[in-house]
Amino acid sequence: MTSSPASPSMSDGKPGTRACVIGWPVDHARSPLIHGYWLDRYGLDGTYERVAVAPEEIDAFFRRFPDSGYAGCNVTVPHKEAALAACAEVEPVARAIGAVNTLWMDGGKLCGTNTDALGFLANLDETAPGWDNEPGPALVLGAGGAARAVVWALIQRGFQPKIANRNVARAEDLAHAFGGGTEAYPWEARQALLWDARLLVNTTSLGMKGVGDIGLDLRGARGDALVTDIVYVPLVTDLLDLAASYGLRTVDGLGMLLHQAVPGFERWFGLRPTVDAGLRARIVADIEGRAP
């Protein structure tokens, strides 16, 4: 992690700017810790709150948003598709992924994007520089919302994602939507797909809080394969632990969470924040149930 001064702003955050994260439930969301850390670090006069919005209230919430006093918000489960539908303007990346996780007001219009793909790439760029020097097949486990962002990101860097999912129809939908050499496979094919994968990404919930086994023998992987997991609780998942024990390069999923927050903060508060060691330590302490 680097620690450098904030770069020049792309917009002028006004004093007293308010932003929030919406979800249902929203208690578990860590973005208030991330944005709160940056507001403190840069001495900005702003707030970032959690707002619980029930599914039956989401349409009304977006209708009232222009009068809410919020400069923008993050959107978490289960409202990302509703956010896409509510936006007057949507960046192409969000349209491709089919979900919006970051909203802002521009000229009275609700605008949205999806920063998960960017967060995924920024994490690998920072932690494993050169990871995309020789793109090739990439094995993506899972075909849910997170997989859509990961597949989009990998295609941008020239990889050919091979998606293995328990529900193969979901993988087929994703491959069909993205094209670009993306292929769909049943979950049982994952071991056979491993041998030539330059990259292995877990986007399933397997391994979260130590529950569930991905069931891969990593001895079948290329020696130069990079293994990453979007699960970050625990920080070192069983998959990453196993990969490291075979000498494979690994990147944990926390950096994706931290980097995906950068564009929203910049839009709302007018200053591009840095993902630094202090931020990471703050969130690791929270994950581990320690005081910072």
- Catalytic residues, by residue number, are 80
How many residues lie near ligand ATR (CB under 6 A)? 16
Q: Does 74 bind ligand ATR (CB under 6 A)?
A: no
Q: Whose Cβ is closer to ligand ATR: residue 1's or residue 208's?
A: 208
23, 44, 254, 256, 270 from 127: Cα distances, Å: 29, 28, 11, 11, 26
* Strand partners of residue 230: none
Label the pairing between strands 199-202 and 160-165: unpaired
Starting at the earlier edge strand, list the strands of the sheet with 72-75: 46-52, 17-23, 72-75, 102-106, 109-113, 89-90
Q: Does 76 bind ligand ATR (CB under 6 A)?
A: no
Q: How far is the CB of 141 from ligand ATR (least distance, A)?
A: 7
For residue 52, the number of C-alpha atoms closer than 13 Å in the C-beta half-sphere is 6
Say how far apart CA 287 and CA 272 lie, in whole Å: 25
Say how far apart CA 274 and CA 289 lie, in whole Å: 24
Instruction: Mark the segment that binds ligand ATR (CB under 6 A) among 100-108, 154-162, 189-197, 198-206.
Output: 198-206
Q: Which of 166, 249, 272, 280 binds ligand ATR (CB under 6 A)?
A: 166
Q: Whose Cβ is closer to ligand ATR: residue 230's or residue 248's?
A: 230
Taking the CB of residue 106, how many other CB atoms lie within 10 A of it? 12
Q: Which of 74, 76, 204, 274 binds ligand ATR (CB under 6 A)?
A: 204
Q: Is the dihedral of CA 12, 17, 22, 26 positive or negative?
A: positive
Q: How far is the CB of 291 from ligand ATR (least distance, A)?
A: 28
Question: Hey, what are 14's tokens?
Answer: 């006004």
Instruction: Mark the segment that binds ligand ATR (CB under 6 A) among 68-76, 84-92, 159-167, 221-229.
Output: 159-167
Instruction: Mark the segment that binds ligand ATR (CB under 6 A) among 49-57, 166-174, 252-260, 263-271.
Output: 166-174
Q: Which of 54, 63, 167, 287 binds ligand ATR (CB under 6 A)?
A: 167
- Does residue 111 contact residue 89 with C-beta atoms inside 8 Å? yes
Q: Does 72 bind ligand ATR (CB under 6 A)?
A: no
Cis ω for the linkage preceding 273 (within 30 of 0): no
Q: Which of 78, 181, 212, 220 binds ligand ATR (CB under 6 A)?
A: 212
Q: Which of residues 214-253 bind ligand ATR (CB under 6 A)?
A: none
Q: Does 115 bind ligand ATR (CB under 6 A)?
A: no
Q: Whose Cβ is closer to ligand ATR: residue 22's or residue 143's?
A: 143
| Interface residues toward ligand ATR, by CB under 6 A | 142-147, 165-167, 170, 187, 203-206, 212
